Amino acid sequence: MARIFVTGSADGLGQMAARLMVDAKHRVVLHARNRQRAAEALAAVPRAETAVIGDLSSIQETRDVADQVNGLGTFDAIIHNAGIGYRERRRIETVDGLSHVFAVNTLAPYILTALIHKPKRLVYLSSGMHRSGDPSLRDLTWEERPWNGSNAYADTKLHDVILAFAVARKWPDVLSNALEPGWVPTKMGGAGAPDDLDAAPRTQVWLATSDEPAARVTGQYFYHLKRRATDAAASNEAIQDRLLSECARLSGVPFPS
């Protein structure tokens, strides 16, 4: 039996993954951005241990989430599931003056990774759209470029793979991997998404909990339980180090050595 923390688990794939894990007798802690959403999450997954609360678009609230998780003790795995989709039509600015998409999809998983006590496994949700992301890491917060929601989302999904691979390199004692769940008909994906919704949460559950040798790897990218090639930039150590450095600068949270 494993103990797993899942970000963004009030609905969608995060909630689906949480249900699969509690059904398998694992101990699961949920996350939601406010108290109402946390209550809804616990009602939907009643066998979960508890839910932590914090808006991941805020640096301070993300730090608070890390403190809450650390206060609950140690975890075997953390699934970084929370995310903003590709449909934002304008650049929405957070309380910290950052792009909303970047703050939630890139900076929050970085902060949580840096501040939460090391688990045995880390799982980062990406997307097939990461292959269209900008590997230059220029203008991460979209202050200079004309806004494009689809491109901003693709950038952050590339960042998530880069982060997963950077952690795999920096922390050899942690299994750190990324995956794409497919384009599925969730609130984020939209009703017309063509991929298999039932299959969508299973790879993250497998990577977080399975003892199969194929799941006990690090620095890999998956789709439906199978390894899949990723953008070459994700394996570039200079790009990895630059992303960590930029996230540390923007958040004020250094990456642990």
pLDDT tens per residue across span 134-168 = 999 999 999 999 999 999 999 999 999 999 999 99
The predicted structure's pLDDT at residue 103: 98
The predicted structure's pLDDT at residue 42: 97
The predicted structure's pLDDT at residue 107: 98
Task: Kindly list the catalytic residues.
Answer: 153, 157
Q: How high is the mean pLDDT of the chain?
A: 94
Q: Is the pLDDT of residue 198 over 70?
A: no
Q: Looking at domain 3-251, does it have CATH number 3.40.50.720?
A: yes
Of 27-36, 93-102, 125-134, 192-201, which range is least confident?
192-201
Q: Is the pLDDT of residue 253 over 90?
A: yes
Amino acid at 147: W
Q: Is the pLDDT of residue 8 over 90?
A: yes
How far apart are alpha carbons 74 and 98 in whole angstroms? 31
How far apart are alpha carbons 218 and 64 in whole angstroms? 28
Of 1-15, 96-110, 183-197, 217-231, which range is least confident?
183-197
Q: Which residues pair with 125 in a beta bridge?
A: 179
How far apart are alpha carbons 160 and 243 in whole angstroms? 10
Q: CB count, 10 Å around CB of 236?
A: 15
Q: Which residues pair with 51 in a beta bridge?
A: 30
pLDDT tens per residue across span 218-239 = 999 999 999 999 999 999 999 9
Closest CA to 212 of 150, 121, 131, 126: 121
Q: pTM of the entire structure?
A: 0.95
pLDDT tens per residue across span 200-220 = 899 999 999 999 999 999 999
Domain boundaries, the chain: 3-251
CA 168 to chain centre: 15
Residues in Cβ contact with 23 at an 8 Å cutoff, skipping those fewer than 6 apart? none
Which token pair is 23? 């059904």
Instruction: Give, in order, the Cα–Cα distances in Å from 218 to each of 7, 20, 54.
Output: 20, 23, 29
pLDDT tens per residue across span 75-130 = 999 999 999 988 788 999 999 999 999 999 999 999 999 999 999 999 999 999 99
Which token pair is 213? 């040798």
The predicted structure's pLDDT at residue 191: 54
Q: Is the pLDDT of residue 73 over 60?
A: yes
Closest CA to 162 of 247, 55, 88, 100: 247
How far apart are alpha carbons 61 and 85 in whole angstroms? 20
pLDDT tier for residue 192 given thresholds of 50, 70 and 90: low
Q: Which residues pair with 227 in a beta bridge?
A: 222
Helices 108-115 and 59-71, interaxial angle, to 10°?
Answer: 40
Give the mean pLDDT of 29-51.
Answer: 97
Which token pair is 202? 């299973």
How many residues in the chain? 257
